């Protein structure tokens, strides 16, 4: 497999997912910082977790570095797409486990979960994690053809 | 005479050196032996632009460590004969392996020209090398050639004719070794006779225990001064690396790895999963960046996913306590069982889910192969603070709870590094301290409460890093270990292995730390329900008047004069004492001692504290004694001696910080 054959695909995918993760990360960090400063901002899908936002941003940057590698025709662009997607997928798995765990707390009737609803856990981490399956699968297919 | 030059060809075996030699010299070849050995010596000549070049073909070597006759011959020739130029022939298809020799030549200070051979083959294999960038990074002229196809030979001859006169200075640094190298050079340069050698090379070779160089230096007048310095450096390096020379080898490969990542692009070829992950996860910058999501996942999995299980245990033990209180008529026994023993056992078991989830995640990362890469990624950053790379995990985990965080230090192999990481961990502000911050920040700094709370977290991190530096300098007098690890391939973790590791670690906690926690909780119960007048009754735990006659209050009152400079009364001091059970207990204790519910506590403390004394109280709560569970786990992990030390230094530090805040605060406001 030559990078020239897959350059376009890798660049597009890395760019799209880089944007998705980076923008989500920046919004999440902004909400998190605002909440620390005493300004409550509520946005659907965002939890206001600055640490989590940084994690999304880190994954977004990794995708973008993949774009850079792809543009300079380096086969390692696939590595960046693959690794960023695997970490994104990991974040999605944690978000899913959190949903299950919170649902359990709610069903058992514990005080801390009284106000919980399934929508509070249908957040950006879960959605991006699920979406990351797409670039992960594509990177795996590319790997198997090299 | 000035137009005659001597150049040497050097390179790894099978790099195409003989082909290039023949291409350059044609028929003019003389074959003999190197003096004293039966290694073939080939010499030839060529002319270019009216200049004559004598070409010496050195034996094919992978390094100049002088482990073989070939290496000794090559090294002695370069050091003693000082050729005008050393043409280092590098295989473009195996740049990483070949650059090792190049770095050693640079260390020697030889005048080098790099002939990048097999460029045609590299292109066929999809390897693209940025020659200009390589030239810039190394500071060496690089000429791409294909000796077998005679491509680039004229360029090479032209470059040789230019570079023979052009002595270059190289700028390759070994970050972990520079302080030692500088120290040795500062002594070596006192002997004028040694200045004919490259002093940096001598210093590096001395660190590598090179006998040849050591023999040269032993004859020098600075040997007596250098010897003890060298011994102490070597001892330090041996502790860190096992053997000093292994550390230097690792450092060279790290430099090479960075160069290769910068200049080599692979445009096609096979990709394995381990290769793809390592391309990114072991990259010096991206690797650190991607530690953030890994730490976030670890944090969330440990504290949030496990939360309902902890709540379940908490609920069961509360229920059990209530059942016992209502079914046993003897008030003392009922309180001892419910508020002492059951609460104590509950305090231990409430950590069970957190630790089980933490160790599951850590074992998962270990078995997957990622954990072995963390020192590789984070060492350079964490070493700045005297900490090993793996300390980053317990430090971040400390924001959740110091107990699992301290248990997480088990991944740190070096004992001293581990003790240091454990000692500073309680300074990371765990979530149990948040209710204290929230109460005081809300009551005194309502407009900036977020910032004030954040400042506590920042204070904890800054203090932890400063203390780490200080302890490293005065107690653990060696640099953090820099482990040479062979990176295992990534794999899908085996559930059986992960579960077994998890259970072993959690069981260890329950067995060892559990007993101390139960004992501590019972002790505080006794101090609360007993006073100088005897047994006060179980109501003392909820009645402020009764509690004010307890031993806990007596201790609080005894401590009050000590904390008078900060403006805290005995109730604040007693609340801090109760905080030893768990830091979140401080708020509840303040509410009982001031005789109000937690919801009205802010209104009361506004009169009992000033903003400055409140901020000092928050800082003190952050730093002072670790809670019983943390103390128990410190003792379990590193013994009583260090547990007492942690207790003592944190008390002193907390007092100093709180007093400093009070003094400066009162001066400003």
| pLDDT given for residue B508 in this prediction | 75
Nearest CA in chain B to A55: B293
Any idea which residue has 């805290």 for tokens? B568
B458 interfacial to chain A (CB closer than 8 Å) = no
User: What is the DSSP pairing of strand B4-11 with strand B141-144?
Assistant: unpaired
Of B267, B273, B311, the CB nearest to A74: B267
Say how far apart CA B655 and CA B658 lie, in whole Å: 5
Contact between A87 and A118 (Cβ < 8 Å): no
Whether residue B347 has pLDDT greater than 80 = no
Longest dimension (CA), chain B: 113
With CB atoms and an 8 Å threshold, state whether B266 touches A112: no
H-state helical runs in B489-627? 495-529, 544-547, 551-563, 570-578, 585-593, 601-608, 611-623
Contact between B23 and B29 (Cβ < 8 Å): no
Contact between B422 and B637 (Cβ < 8 Å): yes
Mean pLDDT of chain B: 86
| pLDDT given for residue B6 in this prediction | 94
Nearest CA in chain A to B280: A80
Q: Report DSSP state, residue B487.
A: P
B262 interfacial to chain A (CB closer than 8 Å) = no
With CB atoms and an 8 Å threshold, state whether B311 touches A94: no
| pLDDT given for residue B668 in this prediction | 87
Q: How far is CA B102 from CA B11, B64, B92, B108, B127, in A?
A: 9, 10, 13, 10, 20
Q: Minimal CA–CA distance to B373: which of B286, B478, B244, B501? A: B286
B551 interfacial to chain A (CB closer than 8 Å) = no
Which of the residue ranges B91-105, B360-374, B579-593 has the most confident prediction, judged by mean pLDDT?
B91-105
With CB atoms and an 8 Å threshold, state whether A55 touches B293: yes
Q: How far is CA B506 from CA A97, B72, B351, B499, B629, in A?
A: 21, 55, 9, 11, 14
Any idea which residue has 């579960």 for tokens? B499
Q: How far is CA B436 from CA B117, B164, B503, B582, in A?
A: 67, 72, 34, 11
> Of B182-191, B246-255, B550-559, which range is least confident?
B246-255
Question: Nearest-CA distance from A86 to chain B in Å?
Answer: 9
B123 interfacial to chain A (CB closer than 8 Å) = no
User: What is the DSSP pairing of strand B85-91 with strand B4-11?
Assistant: parallel
With beta carbons under 8 A apart, name residues in chain B contacting A78.
Answer: 271, 276
How many CB atoms are closer than 10 A to CB B215? 9
Whether residue B368 has pLDDT greater than 50 = yes
Any idea which residue has 């609803």 for tokens? A117
Q: How far is CA B548 from CA B253, B582, B592, in A?
A: 66, 20, 10
Q: Minimal CA–CA distance to B354: which of B412, B296, B397, B413? A: B397
Question: Nearest-CA distance from B288 to chain A in Å?
Answer: 9
What does R_g of chain A's alpha carbons equal in angstroms? Answer: 18
Contact between B423 and B471 (Cβ < 8 Å): yes
Q: ipTM of the assembly? A: 0.96
Going edge to edge, which strands form the sheet with B40-48? Answer: B29-33, B40-48, B51-57, B4-11, B85-91, B112-117, B141-144
- Domains of chain B, each with CATH number or no CATH: 4-163 (3.40.50.300), 178-269 (1.10.287.1770)
| pLDDT given for residue B294 in this prediction | 93
Question: Nearest-CA distance from A29 to chain B in Å?
Answer: 13
Going by pLDDT thresholds of 50, 70 and 90, the confidence category of residue B35 is low
With CB atoms and an 8 Å threshold, state whether B304 touches A61: no
| pLDDT given for residue B599 in this prediction | 65
Contact between B605 and B575 (Cβ < 8 Å): no
Q: Minimal CA–CA distance to B570: which of B554, B556, B581? A: B556
Mean pLDDT of chain A: 92
Say how far apart CA B94 and CA B122 lie, in whole Å: 9
With CB atoms and an 8 Å threshold, state whether A98 touches B304: yes
Coil, strand or helix at B27: coil
With beta carbons under 8 A apart, name residues in chain B contacting A3.
Answer: 126, 267-268
Q: Where are the domains of chain A?
A: 3-145
Q: Which residues pair with B40 in a beta bridge?
A: B33
Contact between B445 and B611 (Cβ < 8 Å): yes
| pLDDT given for residue A52 in this prediction | 94
Q: Minimal CA–CA distance to B174: which of B203, B197, B195, B198? A: B203
Q: What percent of chain B has pLDDT over 70?
A: 95
Question: Nearest-CA distance from A44 to chain B in Å?
Answer: 20
Nearest CA in chain A to B442: A38
Question: Nearest-CA distance from B129 to chain A in Å?
Answer: 11
Going by pLDDT thresholds of 50, 70 and 90, the confidence category of residue B1 is very low
Q: What percent of chain B has pLDDT over 90?
A: 36
With beta carbons under 8 A apart, name residues in chain B contacting A86.
Answer: 277
With beta carbons under 8 A apart, name residues in chain A contacting B304.
Answer: 98, 101
Say how far apart CA A80 and CA B526 lie, in whole Å: 59
With beta carbons under 8 A apart, name residues in chain B contacting A74.
Answer: 128, 265-267
| pLDDT given for residue B597 in this prediction | 64
Q: Report DSSP state, residue B489.
A: P
Q: Report DSSP state, residue B87.
A: E
Going by pLDDT thresholds of 50, 70 and 90, the confidence category of residue B486 is low
Higher pLDDT, residue B105 or B547:
B105
Say how far apart CA A73 and CA B380 lie, in whole Å: 30
- Which of B296, B319, B461 is the best mutation test for A, with the most CBs of A within 10 A? B296
Q: Report DSSP state, residue B539.
A: G
Contact between B86 and B111 (Cβ < 8 Å): yes
Q: How far is CA B358 from CA B362, B364, B425, B472, in A?
A: 6, 10, 16, 28
Q: What is the pLDDT of residues A49-58, one digit of tens each?
A: 999 999 999 9
Contact between A116 and A105 (Cβ < 8 Å): yes
Q: What is the pLDDT of residues B209-237, one digit of tens each?
A: 888 888 889 988 899 999 999 988 888 88
| pLDDT given for residue B540 in this prediction | 80
> Which residues, 6+ apart, have CB-to-CB distance to B504 below 8 Å?
none
With CB atoms and an 8 Å threshold, state whether B128 touches A104: no
User: How many helices, marked H, and strands, marked E, lie in chain A?
Assistant: 6, 0
Angle between helices B415-424 and B449-474 (to 10 degrees): 150
Question: Nearest-CA distance from A126 to chain B in Å?
Answer: 13
With CB atoms and an 8 Å threshold, state whether B296 touches A36: no
Q: Which residues pair with B116 in a beta bridge?
A: B90, B144
- Which of A22, A38, A101 is the best mutation test for B, with the most CBs of B within 10 A? A101
Q: Kindly report the CA angle at B434 between B388 and B441, in degrees rounded to 5?
A: 120
Residue range B358-374: mean pLDDT, rounded: 87
Whether residue B75 has pLDDT greater than 80 = yes
Question: Nearest-CA distance from B480 to chain A in Å?
Answer: 27
With CB atoms and an 8 Å threshold, state whether B307 touches A112: yes
| pLDDT given for residue B184 in this prediction | 93
What is B134-168 written as a DSSP string?
A: HHHHHTSEEEE-BTTTTBSHHHHHHHHHHHTS---
With CB atoms and an 8 Å threshold, state whether A113 touches B304: no
| pLDDT given for residue B481 in this prediction | 63
Contact between B458 and B437 (Cβ < 8 Å): no
Say how far apart CA B86 and CA B328 lie, in whole Å: 92
With beta carbons under 8 A apart, name residues in chain A contacting B296.
Answer: 51-52, 54-55, 91
Q: How far is CA B663 from the centre of its chain?
A: 36
Nearest CA in chain A to B361: A94
| pLDDT given for residue B10 in this prediction | 95
> Which residues, 6+ apart, have CB-to-CB distance to B196 below 8 Å?
none
Residue range B415-437: mean pLDDT, rounded: 90
pTM over 0.90: no
Q: Kindly report the CA angle at A112 between A109 and A114, in degrees rounded to 5?
A: 50
User: How many residues does this entry show for chain B?
Assistant: 669
Residue range B482-498: mean pLDDT, rounded: 76
With CB atoms and an 8 Å threshold, state whether B454 touches A36: yes
Question: Nearest-CA distance from A131 to chain B in Å?
Answer: 17
How many CB atoms are closer than 10 A to CB B415? 11
Q: How many CB pairs under 8 A join A and B?
A: 135
Contact between B42 and B31 (Cβ < 8 Å): yes
Say how far apart CA B324 and CA A6 lie, in whole Å: 70
Q: What is the pLDDT of residues B286-299, one digit of tens each?
A: 999 999 999 899 88
Coil, strand or helix at B474: helix
Question: Nearest-CA distance from B453 to chain A in Å?
Answer: 8
- Which of B122, B284, B292 is the best mutation test for A, with the most CBs of A within 10 A? B292
Q: Which residues pair with B267 in a beta bridge?
A: none
Contact between B476 and B420 (Cβ < 8 Å): yes
How many CB atoms are closer than 10 A to CB A127? 15
B366's tokens: 């270990």
Q: What is the pLDDT of residues B108-163, one digit of tens each?
A: 889 999 999 999 988 887 888 999 999 999 999 999 999 988 999 999 999 999 99
Q: How far is CA B138 from CA B128, B170, B199, in A?
A: 17, 7, 19
Any idea which residue has 């430090």 for tokens? B395
| pLDDT given for residue A40 in this prediction | 83
Which of the residue ranges B129-138, B267-276, B324-333, B372-381 has the most confident prediction, judged by mean pLDDT?
B129-138
Nearest CA in chain A to B365: A90
Q: How far is CA B253 from CA B103, B135, B266, in A?
A: 10, 18, 19
> Of A102-116, B47-61, B165-179, which range is least confident?
B165-179
Contact between B55 and B44 (Cβ < 8 Å): yes
Q: How far is CA B622 from CA B325, B343, B650, B655, in A?
A: 34, 24, 10, 11
With CB atoms and an 8 Å threshold, state whether A90 touches B266: no
Question: Nearest-CA distance from B352 to chain A in Å?
Answer: 16
- Which of B283, B288, B291, B300 is the best mutation test for A, with the most CBs of A within 10 A? B300
Which letter, b or e, does each residue of B57-70 get, where b requires 16 or more Cβ atoms within 10 Å of its Cβ? bbbbbbbbbbeeeb
Whether residue B541 has pLDDT greater than 80 = no
Nearest CA in chain B to A34: B450
Q: How far is CA B160 from CA A44, B79, B145, B185, in A?
A: 67, 20, 13, 31
Q: How far is CA B493 from CA B325, B360, B408, in A?
A: 47, 11, 19
């Amino acid at each position: 497999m030559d990078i020239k054959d897959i350059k376009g695909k890798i660049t597009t995918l890395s760019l799209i997912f880089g944007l998705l993760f980076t923008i989500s990360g920046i919004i999440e960090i902004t909400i998190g910082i605002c909440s620390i400063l005493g300004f409550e901002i509520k946005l659907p899908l965002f939890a206001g977790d600055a640490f989590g936002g940084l994690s999304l941003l880190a994954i977004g940057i990794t995708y973008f570095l993949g774009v850079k590698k792809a543009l300079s025709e380096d086969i390692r662009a696939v590595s960046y797409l693959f690794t960023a997607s695997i970490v994104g997928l990991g974040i999605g798995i944690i978000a899913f486990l959190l949903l299950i765990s919170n649902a359990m707390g709610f069903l058992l009737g514990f005080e801390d979960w009284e106000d919980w609803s399934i929508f509070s856990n249908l957040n950006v981490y879960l959605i991006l994690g699920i979406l990351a399956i797409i670039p992960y699968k594509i990177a795996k297919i590319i790997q198997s053809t090299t | 005479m000035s137009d005659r030059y001597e150049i040497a060809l050097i390179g790894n075996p099978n790099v195409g050196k003989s082909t290039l030699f023949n291409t350059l010299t044609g028929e003019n070849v003389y074959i003999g032996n190197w003096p004293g050995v039966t290694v073939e010596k080939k010499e030839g000549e060529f002319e270019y632009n009216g200049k004559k070049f004598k070409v010496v073909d050195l034996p094919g070597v992978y390094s100049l460590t002088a482990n073989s006759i070939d290496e000794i011959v090559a090294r002695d020739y370069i050091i003693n004969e000082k050729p005008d130029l050393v043409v280092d022939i590098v295989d473009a298809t195996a740049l990483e392996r070949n650059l090792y020799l190049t770095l050693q030549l640079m260390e020697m200070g030889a005048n080098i020209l790099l002939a990048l051979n097999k460029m045609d083959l590299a292109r066929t294999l999809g390897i693209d090398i940025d020659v200009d960038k390589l030239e810039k990074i190394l500071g060496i002229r690089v000429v791409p050639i294909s000796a077998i196809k005679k491509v680039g030979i004229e360029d090479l001859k032209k470059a040789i004719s230019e570079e023979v006169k052009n002595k270059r200075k190289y700028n390759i640094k070994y970050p972990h070794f520079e302080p030692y190298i500088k120290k040795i050079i500062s002594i070596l340069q006192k002997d004028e006779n040694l200045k004919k050698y490259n002093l940096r090379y001598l210093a590096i070779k001395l660190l590598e225990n090179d006998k040849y160089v050591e023999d040269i230096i032993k004859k020098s007048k600075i040997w007596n001064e250098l010897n003890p310095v060298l011994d102490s450096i070597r001892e330090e390096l041996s502790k860190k690396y096992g053997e000093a020379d292994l550390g230097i080898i690792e450092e060279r490969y790290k430099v090479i790895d960075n160069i290769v990542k910068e200049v080599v692009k692979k445009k096609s070829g096979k990709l394995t999963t381990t290769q793809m992950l390592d391309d990114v996860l072991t990259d010096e910058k991206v690797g650190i960046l991607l530690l953030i999501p890994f730490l976030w996942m670890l944090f969330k999995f440990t504290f949030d996913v496990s939360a309902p299980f902890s709540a379940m245990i908490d609920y069961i033990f509360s229920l059990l306590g209530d059942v016992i209180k209502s079914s046993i008529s003897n008030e003392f026994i009922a309180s001892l069982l419910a508020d002492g023993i059951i609460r104590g056992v509950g305090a231990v078991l409430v950590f069970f889910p957190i630790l089980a989830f933490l160790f599951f995640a850590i074992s998962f990362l270990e078995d997957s192969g990622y954990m072995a890469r963390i020192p590789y990624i984070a060492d350079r950053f964490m070493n700045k603070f005297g900490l090993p790379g793996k300390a980053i995990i317990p430090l971040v985990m400390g924001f959740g709870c110091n107990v699992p965080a301290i248990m997480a230090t088990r991944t740190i192999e070096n004992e001293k590094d581990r003790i240091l990481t454990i000692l500073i961990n309680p300074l990371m502000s765990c979530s149990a301290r948040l209710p204290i911050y929230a109460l005081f920040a809300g009551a005194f700094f309502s407009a900036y409460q977020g910032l004030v709370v954040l400042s506590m977290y920042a204070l904890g991190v800054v203090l932890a890093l400063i203390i780490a530096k200080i302890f490293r300098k005065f107690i653990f007098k060696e640099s953090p270990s820099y482990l040479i690890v062979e990176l295992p391939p990534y794999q899908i973790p085996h559930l059986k292995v992960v579960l077994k590791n998890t259970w072993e670690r959690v069981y260890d906690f329950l067995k060892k730390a559990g007993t101390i926690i139960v004992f501590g909780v019972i002790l505080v119960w006794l101090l609360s329900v007993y006073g100088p007048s005897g047994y006060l009754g179980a109501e003392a735990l909820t009645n402020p008047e009764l509690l004010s006659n307890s031993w806990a209050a007596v201790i609080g009152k005894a401590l009050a004069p000590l904390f008078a400079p900060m403006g805290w009364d005995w109730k604040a001091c007693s609340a801090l004492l109760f905080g030893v059970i768990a830091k979140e207990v401080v708020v509840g204790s303040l509410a009982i001692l001031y005789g109000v519910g937690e919801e009205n506590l802010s209104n009361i403390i506004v009169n009992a504290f000033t903003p400055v004394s409140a901020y000092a109280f928050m800082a003190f709560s952050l730093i002072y004694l670790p809670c019983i569970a943390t103390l128990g786990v410190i003792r379990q992990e590193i013994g009583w001696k260090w547990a007492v030390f942690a207790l003592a230094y944190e008390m002193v530090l907390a007092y100093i910080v709180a007093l400093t805040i009070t003094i400066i605060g009162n001066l400003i406001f």
